[in-house]
Structure 1
């Protein structure tokens, strides 16, 4: 205690104008703007606890010491050693679901141009991995994000210029020196956890240690060898960042110490401010009154009738439903969000449901609510379980399933709201807004990235089975997101495909599907080829009103290609303003993906290499329906590290729909 007091007094003696070397906060009571810079929703509560985020969704909070520290020697540019200790508490909105986490941060600025959710308030989608970030962070992450390769939803990671951790481990601590003594810790338990971050400049290694007690374990949780001299600049700011996503957590810092060139002053959890316990519910005193037996009996009967009707009309929530996620909304919540499912909130409708625009009452988040009539041919439990599987998909170029609601025979699905509607509204039938080529190419890259994640990046193989322009949605910044998973199928990597009912939309169906009935990643690639031609030409794959020779888009593009006039098919609405190399790549890749033989189509990993310019397309293409498995052409594909899909298979997801029975989740809202 005396050591803490002396350290605190030493901190007070440091002039504000001088460059600091030490921080010690045994709680933050009385700490003002001169001692801590707060941004976002961060605040210091009256009990002296630093609260970085609250229980609101998609928010972030920053807390930095206001004066920069000197992290480098002016003479040789070598980074100094440093040490920090802090006590953190994470209290999730829902006990088992965190969102997302907090990070100890060293940055060049206190004003981070960042995003919440998986970005933890540190970076944004455009600066991930940039060396110019000069960012060092230790993350305490409670949500598994596949985009950044998270190992689980309860881990500690060391991040340098990116949120894809350089090293990470499940949260835990070591009682002794051996591996067998590791004890697990749950970051989102709502209990205080003490953390230590130590950088040894002489050994060029970072140690991260956590513990539920004030005693520092001898063995760190993480030890990562790295020289931070190229990462750290001479003067940098030290602090914390936290964020929430669709699910929220309150992130707290109870105390904090930091030291340049020496061990940080120790913290004692017993002396730090504590979070208040759950509020006790006080039952009002019951005042007895004398009533006649007749009145009592009458009230009992009326109450029984009320409870019977309420039970009859209510949704019965079974135990298995509470475990599957992603998040169950009440029917009343969604009814209020959509203003009673009024027609003026209707975004679109199709053969098996309607989509409504809504605003969630608590978070004020804009959503799209899809109302589906339940298919009696499939068990509700199985259907909802598979919806939950799709709900675990996490990628910035997928339309996110936020939650669901079951009411009698209806299923309501809640999705991210896409402000700019579907891509087809910008391509066909004299659109009000014309997308530039740069915007179109960006959407192509976005969809390709999403399909690569579905085929290879998720714990199971996901076959979308309905890739087309009307199922590509555009957010407020015109980023492309693949939506409508009503036809999707999931299966384990390495399994064999099972035969299923042929579903999809004419013009996008791979020719082998009617013959084999087996959907594979290659059949998604075929549909993506049609999408490529759509985007470049501004035409649908099938144009029934066109002349016979122009009715099938791929035939028309192939004809121009063989004539050496492939640029003639480029969408005239672009007025010739496009990157010729990119356009030719997209058109040739569209023909390559439209090949009649599944084995001669590229995988999505190969497609990404073509689009990024990492591999060149063949100089001469063969006519799509005639290529087959020609020797030489296959060798070209396999040389690009193709992923075999001959052994992949599917397991049922959702309801099967007849050909051309699908429709987009969202309509254009302009």
Structure 2
């Protein structure tokens, strides 16, 4: 009679685990843009806004043109969610890396942005990475990692060569001088950046290098933030934004890869939070969206099935021990009875009666 509820409960647990893993797998997203070919479903995945345009034979995107007050944005069209806040819903981590260059003029530089769906996509100004109009409307819901090449005292910039993390405002919550690693953002040379967010530790890390061969082991900038609490189940878009300010600074993006993944379990991640990317300079690893998605779904199915079976085994094992302890009758241990032989002898006993005078 006890096996029926055990089976029912174990199946329920297995179903919950399976649903959780399946949902996490369906939310994951990966893409890799090693070139920007508008003739290969480019328009269905990428939006070029403002002055952004494809240049150099489809090999790169120029976000700002060589003119005063130019501004543009490169956005991936498919929205993502960081969710979280509920044990039944996975929190999502992400890793992105891209290569870019900024010309020597005194423009604003480049910003990697995470924007809510209500952010005005076609509203730009020629300064502040082209984000000012949107920040006035949806400021508290905007995240930007700025590669700033202009010292704007109005927002407390320390210099014209720093990386900053902006949350809902252009006043950076944390900054780091790029000169500390002997790099110059507006050198016109190709630079490589890695941005990683871990939903489990709620930590955002930014790395920068002038070589794409190896990802730096130590981050240039770290910041604690809960993105799932910031956006909850709201859809957001990821991309890059730039503006030239009062100069003719140009900003070019050569490649861009992005990976959104669930935090459980770690072996399901298609890419670790802190990978060491080994490739030729200027080339990033190609991630095949369809194959990786299928593999993650299959892994999720196997994981859910395994968890369900393990849970059922543990429940049944514990129930068996508990039931045995409560058993009212105890069966004694029986030992086999074997015949035993005994030896015996006849003993003669002589009794001597005493005489009357006491002598024998």
Q: Larger Rg: 1 or 2?
A: 2
Question: Where does residue 48 of structure 1 map in the other structure?
Answer: 59
Within the candidate set 198, 216, 234, 1:200 is matched to 198
Alignment partner of 2:186: what SS?
helix
Answer yes or no: is the 8 Å Cα contact 1:108–1:233 preserved in 2: no
TM-score by length of 2: 0.61
Matches of residues 90-169 of structure 1 in structure 2 within 5 Å? 90-92=102-104, 97-109=105-117, 111-112=120-121, 114-124=123-133, 127=136, 130-131=139-140, 134-169=141-176
Structure 1 gap ranges (5+): 1-17, 173-181, 274-670
For residue 124 of structure 1, give the secondary structure of its aligned residue in structure 2. Answer: helix
Structure 2 equivalent of residue 87 of structure 1: 99
Shifted more, 70-79 versus 241-250: the winner is: 70-79
Contact 1:53 1:61 in 2 (8 A): yes
Distance 1:24 1:125 in 2: 27
- Which SS does the other structure have where 2:154 is aligned? helix
* In structure 2, C-alpha distance between the alignment counterparts of 1:58 and 1:238, rounded to whole Å: 23
Structure 2 residue corresponding to 1:187, chosen from 178, 185, 188: 185
Q: CA deviation at 1:192?
A: 0.7
Tell me: higher relative CO, structure 1 or 2? Use CA pairs within 8 A at least 6 residues apart. Answer: 2
Q: Distance in 2 between matches of 1:112 and 1:147?
A: 25
Match of 1:60 among 71, 93, 96: 71
Given that 2:195 and 2:205 are in contact with CA atoms closer than 8 Å, whether structure 1 keeps it comes out as yes
TM-score under structure 1 length normalisation:
0.34
Matched, 1:34 2:44: yes
Contact in 1 for aligned 2:120/2:134 (Cα 8 Å): no
The answer for the alignment partner of 1:270 in structure 2 is 281
Return the structure number with greater strand share: 2
Partner of 1:5: none
Q: 1:103 to 1:268 in 2, by over 3 A?
A: farther
Conserved 8 A contact 1:115-1:122: yes
Which secondary structure does the structure 2 equivalent of 1:127 belong to? Answer: helix
State the Cα RMSD in Å. Answer: 2.6
Q: Report the alpha carbon displacement of residue 216 of structure 1 after superposing the two structures with TM.
A: 1.0
**Which blocks of at least 5 consecutive residues in structure 2 are unaligned?**
1-25, 262-268, 285-360
Do 1:116 and 1:244's aligned partners in 2 also have CA atoms closer than 8 Å? no
* Count of aligned pairs: 241
Shift of 1:83: 0.8
Q: How far apart, in 2, do the equivalents of 1:171 and 1:25 lie?
A: 26
Q: Which string of whole-angstrom CA distances, capped at 9 and with x for unpartnered residues, describes residues 579-612 of structure 1?
A: xxxxxxxxxxxxxxxxxxxxxxxxxxxxxxxxxx
CA distance in 1, matches of 2:90, 2:143: 16
**1:147 Cα deviation after fit:** 1.1
Q: Work out the CA distance in 1 between the residues paired with 2:109 and 2:137.
A: 17
